[in-house]
């Protein structure tokens, strides 16, 4: 049986960008639907380094403090040549007053980032097992056809 859903905003993919976009819209009072083709959140890669501008964005959507409590702040970076075995460069994340706050840099687990974003979204925002197989234009709307026979009419 075919199901027809109407949503103003549909986001395809429950990755970092999709969940952050949905959460940002939610914080503004705008509802969205996130479609994910797998049966759960998927993580590609283990971790990523998050610098100060990314922390500002995570603070805006409300998950910065959650993630800060789970990850240590980095004090600097050292690059070593695998051929020579010698240090080739180093970068300190300490400001000129000896404080770490000026450059907030942390290496965070991708799975923890995805979980923090997903946990802040209202129930039902993420729809799993929703593979988009076709997209049609219909005037100002788009019609998404999913693999399970569901049709979603959306503006964005």
Domains and CATH numbers, the chain: 4-154 (3.50.50.60)
State residue 100's pLDDT score: 54
Which residues are CB-neighbours of 26 under 8 A, at least 6 positions away?
Answer: 32, 120, 121, 122, 125
- Average pLDDT on 81-100 reads 80
Model confidence, pTM: 0.84
**pLDDT tens for residues 99-116?**
655 678 999 999 999 999
Residue-level pLDDT at 94:
76
Write down the pLDDT at residue 125: 97
Look at residue 101 in the predicted model and tell me its pLDDT.
53
pLDDT value of position 143: 95
Provide the pLDDT for residue 3: 81
Residue 59 has pLDDT above 80, yes or no: yes
Q: How far are the Cα atoms of 17, 58, 61, 74, 117 from residue 24, in angstroms, in the given order?
A: 10, 9, 5, 27, 10
Tell which wins on pLDDT, 128 or 91. 128
pLDDT digits 0-9 by tens, 16-42: 999 999 999 999 999 999 999 999 999
- Report d(CA 70, CA 72) in Å as an integer: 7
Residue 20: count of CB within 10 angstroms of its CB: 20
Average pLDDT over residues 55-76: 93
**Whole-Å CA distances, 34 to 13, 94, 119, 146:** 6, 39, 13, 13
* 88 has pLDDT over 60: yes
């Amino acid at each position: 049986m075919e199901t027809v859903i109407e949503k103003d905003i549909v986001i395809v993919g429950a990755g970092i960008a999709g969940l952050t976009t949905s959460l940002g819209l939610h914080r503004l009072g705008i509802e969205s639907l996130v479609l994910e083709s797998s049966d759960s959140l998927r993580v590609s890669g283990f971790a990523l380094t998050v610098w100060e501008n990314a922390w500002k964005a995570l603070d805006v959507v409300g998950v910065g403090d959650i993630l800060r409590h789970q990850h240590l702040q980095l004090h600097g970076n050292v690059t070593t040549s695998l051929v020579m075995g010698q240090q080739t460069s180093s970068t300190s994340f300490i400001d000129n007053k000896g404080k770490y706050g000026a450059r907030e840099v942390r290496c965070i687990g991708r799975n923890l980032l995805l979980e923090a974003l997903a946990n802040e979204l209202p129930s039902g925002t993420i729809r799993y097992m929703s593979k988009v197989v076709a997209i049609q234009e219909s005037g100002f709307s788009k019609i998404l056809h999913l693999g399970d026979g569901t049709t979603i009419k959306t503006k964005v």
